[in-house]
């Protein structure tokens, strides 16, 4: 199971929200590059970088942070938040992202996203399935749809999408444990999917549980910043 640390950005700073609530914002570091270098020094190879300003405004805002981290580390970065137009997508790729994280547009404008898959290749995208009560949520988690998560994944799996990260919105940032039962259900239905768990991870026990469930990767944010899990522990687990 691949360990993928997360950096969420607001106004160029490393922050974390609780349950996607912008009013529950905590700044952890004013210099995201420093944080990214710590992850790289710990032997981690991937990074989940989220432009929260972009997610809220519908346009990529913090691409300079991406450019800085991509240019000064060797981390494989997926970047998301505000990618709504091809111009934004090109900015993300040109700034050094290996993968573009796509969520809302895959729900609201399927034709555009399918066009991007055909143009850039399905392997260039990480599909974000943000979920509340097994239904997809969009717009920085502010809007819940009637689309079931397994229907959503199945549609894009058929178009070649391999990597999907699934976040249970109700659990994210709460350090109350991940949505393991949901992940088990999805893995059973899509055994060849590279499924990345996200949200709620608070301990090594949670990581072991997700590994046992068959998750291919796990995104960890608040548990690192709140020192619930040390980078040393993550390094050791990543190397197992």
Domain-by-domain residue ranges, the chain? 2-239
> What pLDDT was estimated at residue 199?
87
In this structure, what DSSP letter does residue 96 have? T
Catalytic (active-site) positions:
8, 130
**Phi, psi at residue 133, to the nearest 5°?**
55, 40
Q: Which residues pair with 196 in a beta bridge?
A: 165, 217
> What pLDDT was estimated at residue 28?
87
Distance CA 102, CA 174 (A): 23
In this structure, what DSSP letter does residue 209 have? H
Burial label for 70, CB within 10 Å (0-12, 13-18, 19+), is: buried
Distance CA 33, CA 35 (A): 5
How many beta carbons lie within 10 A of that of residue 39, not counting itself? 24
Half-sphere exposure of 105 (CA within 13 A, CB side): 25
Q: Which two tokens stand for residue 38?
A: 């710590």
Q: Which two tokens stand for residue 171?
A: 């659990």
> What pLDDT was estimated at residue 24?
74
106 contacts 156 by C-beta, under 8 angstroms: yes
Largest Cα–Cα separation, the chain: 44
How confident is the prediction along the chain (240 residues), in pLDDT tens digits per residue? 999 999 999 999 998 776 667 777 788 888 999 999 999 999 999 999 999 999 888 899 999 999 999 999 999 999 999 999 999 999 999 999 999 999 889 999 999 999 999 999 999 999 999 898 899 988 655 678 899 999 999 999 999 999 999 988 876 656 678 999 999 999 999 999 999 999 889 999 999 999 999 999 999 998 999 899 999 899 888 776
> What pLDDT was estimated at residue 11?
92
Distance CA 16, CA 135 (A): 23
Identify the CATH number of the domain defined by range 2-239.
3.20.20.70
Angle at 215 between CA 214 and CA 219, to 5 degrees: 160
């Amino acid at each position: 199971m691949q360990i993928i640390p997360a950096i969420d950005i607001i106004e160029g700073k490393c922050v974390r929200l609780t349950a996607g609530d912008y009013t529950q914002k905590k700044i952890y570091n004013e210099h995201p590059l420093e944080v990214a270098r710590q992850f790289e020094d710990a032997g981690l190879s991937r990074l989940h970088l989220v432009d929260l300003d972009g997610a809220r405004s519908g346009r990529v805002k913090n691409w300079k942070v991406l450019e800085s981290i991509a240019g000064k580390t060797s981390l494989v970065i997926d970047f998301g938040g505000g990618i709504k137009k091809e111009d934004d997508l090109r900015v993300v790729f040109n700034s050094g992202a290996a993968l573009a994280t796509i969520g809302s547009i895959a729900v609201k404008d399927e034709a555009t996203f399918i066009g991007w898959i055909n143009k850039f290749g399905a392997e260039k995208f990480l599909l974000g399935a943000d979920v509340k009560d097994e239904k997809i949520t969009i717009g920085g988690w502010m809007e819940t749809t009637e689309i079931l998560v397994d229907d959503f994944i199945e549609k894009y799996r058929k178009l070649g999408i391999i990597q999907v990260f699934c976040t249970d919105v109700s659990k994210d940032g709460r350090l109350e444990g991940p949505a393991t039962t949901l992940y088990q259900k999805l893995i059973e239905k899509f055994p060849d999917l590279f499924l990345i768990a996200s949200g709620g991870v608070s301990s090594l026990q949670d990581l072991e549980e997700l590994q046992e469930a068959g998750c291919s990767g796990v995104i960890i944010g608040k548990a690192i910043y709140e020192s619930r899990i040390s980078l040393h522990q993550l390094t050791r687990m990543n190397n197992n």
